[in-house]
Amino acid sequence: MGKTYKRLKMEKFDPSLLRLQDSSYAGHYESTSWDDIIDQMNTSTETLTVFKDTPAYEHQWASDPLYEETYSLWKENDFNFNSIKWRSYYPGIHFDGSLATDIASYLGLNIIHSCWISRIDPGFFAPLHCDPFVAEIHDPEKGELKRYAVFITPSELGHIFILGQDHLYNFPVGTVIKWNNPNELHIGINGSMKTKYMINVLGY
C-alpha cells in the first residue's frame, strides 16, 4: 500500500511574524466559496490558456517579443520543459465575473486591468519569470498600478510561490499578498499531491 500524505495544519497564523522583502500582507478575503469557483472552472468548456511543452506554445513563446527573452533563458539553462505547465482561467469566461469586482472592491481598486486564476497541477511548475505585459499596461495617469495574489486552496506540503526574495507558503485560504513591484520575478511550484490555485489581480 502506498504512503498516505496528510495536509500540514497550521495552529495559528500571525501576519506580524512575516518577514517579507518584496511583498506585504494585505489582509484576508473571505467573500466567496472557492470550492464553487474551482468547480465552475473545471466544468467550463471554454478554451484555456495553457503553457506546456508543445510545438504551438514553443512557437508562441519563442516568437512573442514580450516573452522570447524568458523562453530563451529557459532553453539556455537546460530547463526540463516536461515539468513546466500551468493553466489560466478568466472571470466571465471560466468562472463568475462578479468575483473580480468583489475582490477589487475589497482591495480598494477603482479599475481592474487584469484578473485570472492560475492553476499548477501536482509535479509541475512555472519557472523563474516576470510578466512583461505588466510594463506595457502601466499607465501613470491612472495612478499606481497595484498587484495582488490571493491563496485560494488549502496549503499543502509542496505548494510554494516565490516572489522576489519572498518564499510564500503555508498560508490560510483567503490570504492576500501585495506585490511591491507588479513586474517582480516569480516562480510557482507544486511539489504536492494536490492542485495549486491562486488568483491574481492587477488594477488602479
pLDDT tens figures, 120-175 = 999 999 999 998 888 778 788 889 999 999 999 999 999 999 999 999 999 999 99
Q: Fill in the amino acid letter for 7.
A: R
**79 vs 72: CA distance, rounded Å:** 10
Kindly state whether residue 148 falls inside one of the protein's structural domains. yes
In CATH, what number is assigned to the domain containing residue 100? 2.60.120.330
Highest average pLDDT, of 35-39, 63-67, 193-197, comes from 193-197
Q: What is the pLDDT of residues 69-128, one digit of tens each?
A: 888 899 899 999 889 889 899 999 999 999 999 999 999 999 999 999 999 999 999 999
Instruction: Decide: 182 and 202 in contact? Cβ < 8 Å.
Output: yes
Count up the domains in the chain and report the number. Answer: 1
In a domain, 3, yes or no: no
| Residue span of the structural domain in which 96 resides | 16-43+86-203
pLDDT class of 10 with cuts at 50, 70, 90? very low
185 assigned to some structural domain: yes
Residues 18-56 pLDDT 10s: 899 999 999 999 877 899 999 999 898 877 666 665 554
- Which residue, among 10, 1, 55, 63, has the nearest Cα to 170 in the 3D structure? 10
Instruction: Tell me, yes or no, whether 96 lies in a domain.
Output: yes
How is the beta sheet containing 49-51 ordered, strand by strand? 23-28, 175-179, 146-151, 196-203, 112-120, 86-89, 49-51
4 is a domain residue? no
Domain assignment of residue 71, yes or no:
no
